[in-house]
Structure 1
Amino acid sequence: MGKVKFNSPLVEMEGDEMARVLWQWVRDQLVLPFVDVELKRFDLSIENRERTDDRVTLEAAQAARAHGVSLKCSTITPDRARQQEFGLSRLYPSPNGTVRNVLDGTIFREPVICPNVPRLVPHWSKPVVIARHAFGEQYRAKEIVVEGRGTVKLVFEPTDGGEAVTQTVHEFNGGGVALGLFNTDESIRGFARACLNFGLQRGYPVYFSHKGTVLKQYDGRFKDIFSEVFGEFADAYREAGLVYEPRLIDDMVAFSLKSSGGYLWACKNYDGDVQSDYMAQGYGSAGLMTSLLMSPDGRCIETETAHGTAVRHYRQYQRGEATSSNPLATIYAWSRALWHRARLDGTPDGMAFAETLERTCIDLVEAGTMTRDLASLMGARHPFVSAQVFVQRAAAELKSRLG
């Protein structure tokens, strides 16, 4: 069996803990034995981020932009406890935020539906795609701890020397905290255009969730720009029998629980982070959620594992115990990156390999080979396998199919 040849490189970003272990198993057993692809590797482990003062994250993001297709493993964003655990010199920002800010664009998270796996929300029979704006918000916020009495102000100083605009945020009589968020019209417009294009291509209605009743100017700006951009798509949506609607996020959450799926939910950055995790559990597992970031022009694509680093499973792994972490999200990060690389390069054999890899893994699950998270949905006595065994069986079946 000859390897499938890819003409251009992938930018690979390794992560932390059990997610990193799964990443290496998938790469070394399900990808590299079958494909010939150059990997531009970057180690985004928390230890290497400390060694490089986080320069490695920016370098990885710049490489992702230069080469067009990248994929990223889950990484640690340290809090105070993890700072102490790893002896970090500072609290490093989210690597996801750094990479996404360089690439800009929108993250599309979509569940993998295994027909035989019961869903926690049984009537979710069709996918819900969470479109998450990937710029600004909490991931580029400025925050301060207020130590005593004083005033926090929001100030805009025009570059052209015009009159500054100042608003008092709060007059503190004692300690507290303050936070500054921002976004740009250009990025919001790219977000809206990406969502509306995606909805049209997939035949999905699009809903943008906001809190415009409270953040009248901030969320109101998002709402206005979405409405403006939708003007470019209105005729095409009407012909396709599709709709676009802005909805209060409270109403959208209630609607999502009652619906059967089959729509795109456009969320602001942090809202999308939360809602995609909630959706993943509703469909069965965080291991069943795919994640794809696309730049506004569609040139740059980054696939990710949408779950965390699985620290509890990593502790078991360190003790030499078999773990049953679900590797499907990791497998799909690789398969979707390979598929897009092949699509951009015009190599159909690469696209076919990526599709075969995905089909092989879904067929295994449908045949009853699954990790603990999925087996528990089937019933208390349903057998399950370790993550390592699942990857090994998938590799054997893939070899047989490609033989």
Structure 2
Amino acid sequence: MEAAAAASSALVFPREALKGIAESDGVIIVDHGSRRDKSNLMLNEFVDMFRERTKYPIVEPAHMELAEPSIKDAFNLCVQQGAKRVIVSPFFLSPGRHWNMDIPSLTAEAAKEHPGVSYIITAPLGLHELLVPSVSAMIVATGALSSPLFLACKNRPSSILLSNSRRISAGMSFKDPRALFTRLPNASVRSFSGAPDAVSKIQVQNPIVEMDGDEMTRVIWKTIKDKLIFPYLELDIKYFDLGILNRDATHDKVTVESAEAALKYNVAVKCATITPDETRVKEFGLKDMWRSPNGTIRNVLDGTVFREPILCQNIPRTVPGWTKPICIGRHAFGDQYRATDTVIRGPGKLKLVFVPENGDEPLELDVHDFKGPGVALAMYNVDQSIRAFAESSFAMALGKKWPLYLSTKNTILKKYDGRFKDIFQEVYEEKWKEKFEEHSIWYEHRLIDDMVAYAMKSEGGYVWACKNYDGDVQSDLLAQGFGSLGLMTSVLLSGDGKTLEAEAAHGTVTRHFRLHQKGQETSTNSIASIFAWTRGLEHRAKLDGNEKLSDFAHKLEAACIETVESGKMTKDLAILTHGTKVSRDMYLNTEEFIDAVAQSLYSKLHDAVPV
């Protein structure tokens, strides 16, 4: 290794050689990152060598993804050590999308927490002339000059023609260390605001509430932000960490605070979260078995959850007759989800008692005369919430120009379900009937069993309003009927139609997260999480009258669908398409799929495919 050592030892930079570099400058050397510890440790070794030989006061390593520390971590460390400017240097050979998209985006996000600190991003190593002696030294050190491959080419000149037509001898050394900085053309040191080349960020005037989540969805949520959202949008994010440990640390106050923020700013996007059971309480050492964050948020927003399939032409449907989407609205308040239930231990009478506040006689109802052990349940709903359910359902249907159906079992629950039917009819007659008729759409009430039968034989193309439990069950049925829960949007819309919270319809994908924790490859479908962002952004655009933001949201959705329809998909969709015996070349892993969507989005926004 003498040749390599000789070439390396020449690169020692006295302080006066570092022209334009201040004591308050911090340097981040960033590579891609690897699941292999040995690969990541190589960067640490290089940074130690770089720090020693350049005498920079502040130098930190960072990995773009897959490993720690992140660019954000390294940026914070630089600032803590007194850096007023951070120079981010990609430890990459080729100027691909990591250089002009990912690293600028991640750096911009890191810099948000330090408004007084500027940053620049250097060019990747690429064709820099100092690579020539380095590569030459490595070849010599490994005996490559005596290999058959070299001997076959020995009649060729031992010099390299660079793009600027300068010939550099393969054996030359650099005596002037300032060449590292001065020989780079001016255009090779780039200053970034965080956006990709040739695209100015879209300004979003009003804030969006972000609710972070748990496990594998938390992992892909961050990747979505870094690769699909932050490079293109200038956002004011009101961030709330709804991860299970933070909910536990705040006694679940963070969930309520996030919902209140959603009401204040009218738009929220939510990552999937854990609803703890006894096993999870033990796993995380929780103080309590906290309620479902979705349920808490729904109760605060008092709205309707609408789920709708994402249709990809090459993904087969369990119900092939569903050629149009069905948007199912679930009344996300009361009924079984706010019920009081109990176990009856022995014989006795069960009564239901209502005590009016105005001093009138209490209403007492005999429920059942128990002859032995059993169970009992008392549930409720309120006119205000039912009316809000009706308003949001009619608003959704009119917005889509689709008919609306309400399903109940009012023939059995004449007063309870009958109240839903009556309020919907009142709201329709008072406010929506004329508007519906103008667009040749209609509203109709149906019994739940009749509606289920109708849904199975219909082609789709309508909004279906369900009570809380019915919506919980039927939304999953629709998801599977259309293909997958991973291809399902979910939005919670308030009664006045002003506040919207968008989320992924599925869970936290625990099984994949366990693999991810072990450093194993995963193929997690991120489409529903991406659509949580697009539906939230679309609503923000609607409220603000921001056409550019609306166009961006539509292009991102189209990028997802077109990526799948081009044959690039995650394993769950590949199984739906090709059957259970899929080979590795038939699907993309988690990161590859998001990268494919990012490339499609980039193309749509630039009218060109990135290098």
TM-score bucket (shorter structure): over 0.9
CA deviation vs aligned residue, 1:344-380 (integer Å, no higher than 9, x gap) = 1222211111111111111111111011221112213
CA deviation vs aligned residue, 1:291-318 (integer Å, no higher than 9, x gap) = 1121111221111111111122222222
State the superposition RMSD in angstroms: 1.8
CA deviation vs aligned residue, 1:260-298 (integer Å, no higher than 9, x gap) = 101111001221122111111111111111111211112
Secondary structure of the structure 2 residue equivalent to 1:402: helix
Alpha-carbon shift at residue 246 of structure 1 (Å):
1.4
Q: Which residue of 1 aligns with 2:520?
A: 321
Secondary structure of the structure 2 residue equivalent to 1:298: coil
Change (3 A) 1:320 1:168: farther
Work out the CA distance in 2 between the residues paired with 1:228 and 1:255: 25
Q: Which residue of 1 aligns with 2:500?
A: 301
Q: Which residue of 2 aligns with 1:101?
A: 299
How many pairs are equivalent? Answer: 403
Q: Which residue of 2 aligns with 1:376?
A: 575
Secondary structure of the structure 1 residue equivalent to 2:595: helix
Work out the CA distance in 2 between the residues paired with 1:19 and 1:179: 35
1:144–1:177 CA contact under 8 A, matched in 2: yes
Secondary structure of the structure 1 residue equivalent to 2:491: strand
Work out the CA distance in 1 between the residues paired with 2:494 and 2:265: 13
Change (3 A) 1:150 1:293: same
User: Alignment identity in percent?
Assistant: 53
1:94–1:139 CA contact under 8 A, matched in 2: no
Alpha-carbon shift at residue 241 of structure 1 (Å):
3.2
Pairing 1:87-166 to 2, within 5 Å after superposition: 87-166=285-364
Secondary structure of the structure 2 residue equivalent to 1:71: strand
Q: Which residue of 2 aligns with 1:195?
A: 393
Pairing 1:327-342 to 2, within 5 Å after superposition: 327-342=526-541
Q: Which residue of 1 aligns with 2:600?
A: 397
Alpha-carbon shift at residue 151 of structure 1 (Å):
4.2
Moved more, 89-98 or 62-71: 89-98
Alpha-carbon shift at residue 200 of structure 1 (Å):
2.8
Determine whether 1:267 maps to 2:470.
Answer: no
Work out the CA distance in 2 between the residues paired with 1:171 and 1:320: 59
Alpha-carbon shift at residue 122 of structure 1 (Å):
1.1
Q: Which residue of 1 aligns with 2:381?
A: 183
Amino acid in the other structure paired with 2:540: R
Alpha-carbon shift at residue 183 of structure 1 (Å):
1.1
1:131–1:272 CA contact under 8 A, matched in 2: yes
Q: Which residue of 2 aligns with 1:74?
A: 272
Secondary structure of the structure 1 residue equivalent to 2:308: strand
1:109–1:130 CA contact under 8 A, matched in 2: yes
Determine whether 1:248 maps to 2:451.
Answer: no
2:395–2:497 CA contact under 8 A, matched in 1: no
**Match of residue 39, structure 1, among 232, 237, 258:** 237
Structure with larger RCO (C-alpha < 8 A, sep 6+): 1
Change (3 A) 1:144 1:92: farther
Work out the CA distance in 2 between the residues paired with 1:222 and 1:86: 41
Moved more, 54-63 or 204-213: 204-213
**Bigger radius of gyration among the two:** 2
Determine whether 1:386 maps to 2:582.
Answer: no
Q: Which residue of 2 aligns with 1:56?
A: 254
Alpha-carbon shift at residue 391 of structure 1 (Å):
0.6
Change (3 A) 1:179 1:48: farther
Amino acid in the other structure paired with 1:275: Q
Secondary structure of the structure 1 residue equivalent to 2:414: coil
Q: Which residue of 2 aligns with 1:234?
A: 433
Moved more, 290-299 or 196-205: 196-205
CA deviation vs aligned residue, 1:82-125 (integer Å, no higher than 9, x gap) = 23333333322111111111111222211111122211111110
Q: Which residue of 2 aligns with 1:345?
A: 544
Secondary structure of the structure 2 residue equivalent to 1:213: coil
Moved more, 360-369 or 201-210: 201-210
**Match of residue 258, structure 1, among 457, 463, 486:** 457
Change (3 A) 1:21 1:168: farther
Moved more, 391-400 or 37-46: 391-400
Ranges in structure 2 where 5+ consecutive residues have no aligned partner:
1-198, 607-611
2:391–2:496 CA contact under 8 A, matched in 1: no
Determine whether 1:278 maps to 2:477.
Answer: yes
Q: Which residue of 1 aligns with 2:489?
A: 290
Work out the CA distance in 2 between the residues paired with 1:97 and 1:139: 8
Amino acid in the other structure paired with 2:260: Q
Change (3 A) 1:46 1:172: farther
Change (3 A) 1:203 1:346: closer
**Match of residue 553, structure 2, among 348, 351, 354:** 354
Secondary structure of the structure 2 residue equivalent to 1:57: helix
**Match of residue 4, structure 1, among 202, 207, 213:** 202
Work out the CA distance in 2 between the residues paired with 1:200 and 1:347: 21
1:317–1:323 CA contact under 8 A, matched in 2: yes
**4+ long deviations beyond 6 Å:** none
1:97–1:140 CA contact under 8 A, matched in 2: no
CA deviation vs aligned residue, 1:109-159 (integer Å, no higher than 9, x gap) = 111111222111111100001011122223322333445555443221111
Change (3 A) 1:65 1:235: closer
Secondary structure of the structure 2 residue equivalent to 1:158: coil
CA deviation vs aligned residue, 1:188-227 (integer Å, no higher than 9, x gap) = 1121122123223322121111122222211111111112
2:205–2:544 CA contact under 8 A, matched in 1: yes
Amino acid in the other structure paired with 1:312: R
Determine whether 1:17 maps to 2:215.
Answer: yes
Work out the CA distance in 1 between the residues paired with 2:553 and 2:429: 36
Secondary structure of the structure 2 residue equivalent to 1:272: helix
2:267–2:501 CA contact under 8 A, matched in 1: yes
Work out the CA distance in 2 between the residues paired with 1:201 and 1:335: 17
